[in-house]
Structure 1
Amino acid sequence: MALTTKRKPDWLKIKLTSGDEFKEFKELKQMMRSKTLHTVCEEAKCPNIHECWANRTATFMILGDTCTRACRFCAVNTGLPTELDLQEPQRVAEAAEQMGLNHCVITSVARDDLRDGGASIFAESVKAVREKLPLCSVEVLIPDFMGNAEALEKVLDAKPDVLNHNVETVERLSDRVRSKAKYARTLGLLRTSKAYAPKIPTKSSIMIGVGETWEDILQTMDDLRAVDCNILTIGQYLQPTRHHLKIEKYYTPEEFEALKEEGLKRGFSHVESGPLVRSSYHAHEQKEAADRTIAAEQA
């Protein structure tokens, strides 16, 4: 499969970092390697990596760097994992402390080879960060655990500040875009999370540009609100290699703004929508904005 021949629009061109930003980026990268930690920022080729790392924010990727799934949009390595490090939560916490984080995001590769999908490591990571940084909020971006409710409850029992699970795309394209993950299972996970831990905000993300229609996107918003999802992020899909899904459409900044308005109109507490938006982009600001909205609604 060839890379898309569509010309990348100007609004997707990433500004080069300054000397200071590049220095911060190098320092953080060295620190991550010294603790043998992975980040989704690097593995998924995030376009915001220099900006976020310069601001001393990052999304830790636990459970190794090899995913048991092979989604057609994702640049993370796939295969049979061999790594399961029970000391990883402590090193994540040490890195978060060294960075002085106010908001820590923890995600993982899918580990369908593990009985609980890695839920216990998620839970221990949340606890470890809290011990090191009691005032730091912690967001988890979890896989679907193949529908294992006990695994989900294990994560929720650690009381993360945000439970994030991405729907990724619209229902019509889900089987083509994702591997093993099911649209209905994603909605079910978000619904179960709210039923089990109603005070923990839920969050999900849609990437657009893979062949969906405007009506498809609005229906996905409606589906997420039907399971009381609080926070929504919407970003442009960018083809990481020639082997991945091609880009069918580049959405304009104006279209992203219109989608933000549609999301807010439907009752999301916060919507982050833009060409370079990714699930964890400005995650701290997303949580704070959602907290304010939820507090106002409950007042």
Structure 2
Amino acid sequence: MAFVPYGITPPIITPFREDGSVDYETLAMMSKRLVENGVHGLFPMGTTGEFYAVNDEEFVKILTTVKDAVAGMTTRKGRPIQLFAGCNHITTRGVIHLIHLVEQVGGYDAVSVLTPMFISQTQDELYTYYKTIADSTDMPVILYNNKPKTNVTIAPETVAQLARDCANIVAVKDSTGDMTNSEEYLRLTRDQRDHFNVLMGRDTLIFAALMYGATGAIASCANVAPRITADIYDKWEDGDLAGALEAQYKLAPLRIATNMGTFPQTIKEALVMQGLPVGKCLDPIQELNADQKAKLRKVLEDMDLL
């Protein structure tokens, strides 16, 4: 049976000090805190983790820090904590280089690969991109569609073809916010469910995606509200659909608040408000203004997160 990514996995933030260096001690603390509060996996070097801001040495040390921090920890049902590593680059060879670094670190269950940024690929080019990457490794590969950030989408038909042709492409994370797109991923790959699944990447749609057949979500807001976010999955898994939906409703205002400022600054400011010394995003991203900070604080207070 192929690896099945499931549950709630936060794309963990990367804490930076004022001088721009990575704060590995805070990263380790954050990793443990998230697992203690119920998440099912951790995903360093995603979009929320400012993957674009680190060099190879930092990349390796971040992955090692997260892995070591949660070694031996399990979910509420005693399952191992899943670990995904973001491997994102404009070029195919750049992604493959990062995957080789992940393989050297060891201990990671899958790699997540975003569509290339800046360049605008055809679907044929995207197919070849992902097929070449999958063929370069034995690791499970998660496709990552974040059209709002890259202006590139992986069409459902392309995802379905990749699922058929590549046994180690095990999932797609859909951050488009388009539920019809997610539904089409699920519908067109349902005959590949022995090895391929769908993960929701928009935090307001986790419950809906689970009901459609997704196996989990990669949820940025779980950095700030891990227990609330994990409740969506845990209650759904336990058959408490009303409880899962209520947790989804409770989480929604935080996800909507992340539209303030430049992503993922709102996530970091919320963590700072909670007393966690994660710093701000690297320049040129700036802090929220005073009015935005007041709105964010009110959201956190209403969610009982302060």
Q: TM-score, normalised by structure 1?
A: 0.47
Q: TM-score, normalised by structure 2?
A: 0.46
